[in-house]
Every structure is written in C-alpha cells, then in structure tokens.
Amino acid sequence: MNLSATNPDAPWRIKDHVAEGTYQQLMGIAEPLALSEGTVLVSEGDHNRSLFLLESGALGVSRKTDNGEQELGTIGPGDVIGEIAFVDQRPRSATVTVREDAQVLKLGHAQVMSALARHPMALVDLMQALATRLSLRLREEMSEEHIQSELSRVSAIPDAPPSADTPTAAFLEGLVEEALAHPAVCHPYLSDLAEGNLPDLAWAIRDFAGQYPGYCAHFPRYLTVVISKLESADHRKTLLQNLTEESGTLDDEELEVLVSYGIDPDWVQGIPHPKLFERFQQAIGVQDTDAYADDALEVVCWRESFYQLLANGSPAEAVGAIGLGTENVVNKIYTPIIRALERLGTLERRDYVFFELHCEVDEDHHEALLRIAHDFAEVPGNRIDLRKGMLKALGFRARFWDWMHDRARNRPACP
C-alpha cells in the first residue's frame, strides 16, 4: 500500500481526476461504510485489493517496525486509500485505522473491473488517474540518490536490442527478430491495406476502425494485470509510468520529435490515446453507424485470450506477451495502416495521428519492456516462458488478421 502522510488541506480527490461519467459509474457501485473510531480499515499484510474514498472523518496510518508500531501520518476527507493494492496486487504494507468516526466509500476491485470492463473508456480513465496518483507517491518516496542510481542502471542497458556479446543479449536479439518476422507482423492483410489490394479500401479501413478498439481500448487493463505479477519494484514502476503515459502527457523531448515529423503537438498533448483513436473513428465515419455497437465474437476472443494469457501465465510469459509480442511490433503493424490511410487520401494527418504517435515517438514503451525482458532472460529458466508468451500473443493477433482479411476480401452485407 505504501501510504505516506497526506496533507488534509490539499487532498487528492479522485473526482477531480476522472471524467464526470466515470465518477458517476464508480459511485453507482460504491459501498458506503460508517466506521467508528478505532476500527481497522486496512491491515498490514492483507491481500485485499479494495479502493476506499474517505468522505468524512480521519484515518491514521501506521507500520510495524523492530521498535513497535510506527505512526506514518493522517489521511483527511477527500483522499483515496489503497490505490497501490488496487493496481499492484501487493500485500498491504501499512495499517489504516479510524481516528475519528468516518464515512468511507468502498470500491471492490472485482466489482469495479467487472463493471468498467463493459465501458473501456471509463476503465482507461480510472486506471490512468490511479497511475498518476501512484507516480506522485513514488516520486515523493524515492530519494534523489535512489533516482540517480536507477537512471544509471537503466542507461547501462543499450537502447537498441543488445549485441551478441553476451548470451542474454543474443537470446533477446533472436526473439526480437523472430517476432518481426512472424505472420502477425508480415500478414497479407496489412500489405493489402497498404497497397490498396482490396475490393473496397475505404470500407476495409472503416471496418478496422470499428473492430480494433475492442482489443486496444483495454490496454490499461492489460498493463494492470502485468504490473500485478511483477516482483521487482523497479519493473512495476516502469509499467506504471507506461500506464500514466497512456493519458497523452508528452515531455519536451517527445514534443520536439513530433515537430521534426511535421506533427503539431496540439494534436496530441494531454489527449488520452483512446481519445485519439475515437478521433480517427469519427473522421472515418465509424461512429455514424450502430454496426459496431457490440464487439464481434472474434474480437472478444482475441481480447479475452490475451488477457487470460497475461493473468494466468508466469510473469516471464506475461512480459514476453505484452513486450516482445506486442509493444515490440507496434511500429511494424501501424506503418502499413498509415500507408493505407495516405492512399485513401480522405483524412487529415491530425485525424490519424494515433498511429504516427505510436510509430514515431512511442518507442519508450518498447524499450522499457525490452529492459524488463532482459532482466528476466538473465535467469535461464525464464527464457522458454518469454518466448512462449511472445508467440502466443503473436498467434492471437495473426488469427484476428486472418478474420479481418477475409472480411476485407469478401465484404459482408453490413456494416
């Protein structure tokens, strides 16, 4: 849980960091609790993943030490309790006790994930807010010396796939090459889109715009389950940062890269990635039809198969799936889609900047996951699982492309 003392005069209110619609959905499933002084809300060591919102009263935070219970601080009205456990499936690392009679709203993890799974934009909204909150806490808790030490450790790992100087580097390089040569990346569906070798290119692109979000809009959910499986605090912090970046916040260096490619930073700065995809959908005309109101069974199968792989596989398998089998190939997959959109010629670059953003300036996610894979691959027993997760993820995507290619060549009667 890693709760630190909170300033009651400036609480971090979840209501201020999510859309009104998301907040109302959370309130619809929240369980109100009236707690009397002395009640233990959270016990150190518990595995409960509920999130709590303090409406009134005061809570005390303490942790066991060799010298007894240590008081860490007080939580005041408006603040949130338990966001780390909600995202990160670690045991609670502190005890929270009611100091003044309190009114609390409880958000059970399973209930929230079940309810918001049907509303991926709301799920994205919540997870990005919590990731931002976690980043603030982690920055407060990390000393400057620790930060510099971590930066030195990360910078010692090459940005590009390592050379074959070491067995681990050679192994990873081989996995990267294998992934880039996989049918999921070199699929005829992608080449036919890029070259316009389809009966109705405009329809095929609209179909892609309608079907693809059923998988990609759930990316915060995928990241969250991987975070929950990682033992290394550094690895978890890296993916929490990735989760935060899904909100569309770019630093100065990334903005400079955008400008160098002729992309106006105003097109993307501060706009969550799912919103950028919605802009593409609107421009291509998908949101003008009800044909994609419900996800097709093939999309649901891809999404849930991928999620179950991440949730039920080993940590190395999950890293192989989301890193080597997903982030590693995004650039190669989106490039032919950009070519198809350029060939179509009916959209402005601003309308499909989602794809250019991922191709040109969103390499940090791939590099971060490659570093995590490097750490896993140092243990020989993890190597089979890294490759297994990668190949499963690529296989799921290839089957989805097979289905999309068949649709594009034999256009259904609708939509």
Q: Where are the domains of the chain?
A: 14-118, 142-409
Q: What's the topology of domain 142-409?
A: Heme Oxygenase; Chain A (1.20.910)
pLDDT tens for residues 35-66?
999 999 998 888 888 889 999 999 999 988 88
Band (138; pLDDT cuts 50, 70, 90): low
Band (302; pLDDT cuts 50, 70, 90): very high
Question: In the chain, pLDDT over 70 holds for what percent of residues?
Answer: 83
Judged against a pLDDT cut of 90, whether residue 349 lies above it is answered with yes
CA gap 14, 18 in Å, rounded: 7
pTM of the predicted structure, to 2 decimals:
0.68
Position 411 scores a pLDDT of: 83
Judged against a pLDDT cut of 70, whether residue 29 lies above it is answered with yes
Sign, CA dihedral 257-260-266-268, equals: negative
Position 8 scores a pLDDT of: 39
Least confident residue range of 179-188, 224-233, 239-248:
239-248
Token output for 220: 């915060």
More confident residue, 122 or 37: 37
Band (178; pLDDT cuts 50, 70, 90): very high
State in Å, rounded, how far the first CA of the chain is from the last one. Answer: 47
pLDDT tens for residues 361-382?
666 677 888 999 999 999 888 9
CATH architecture classification, 14-118 = Sandwich (2.60)
Judged against a pLDDT cut of 80, whether residue 132 lies above it is answered with no
Position 152 scores a pLDDT of: 44
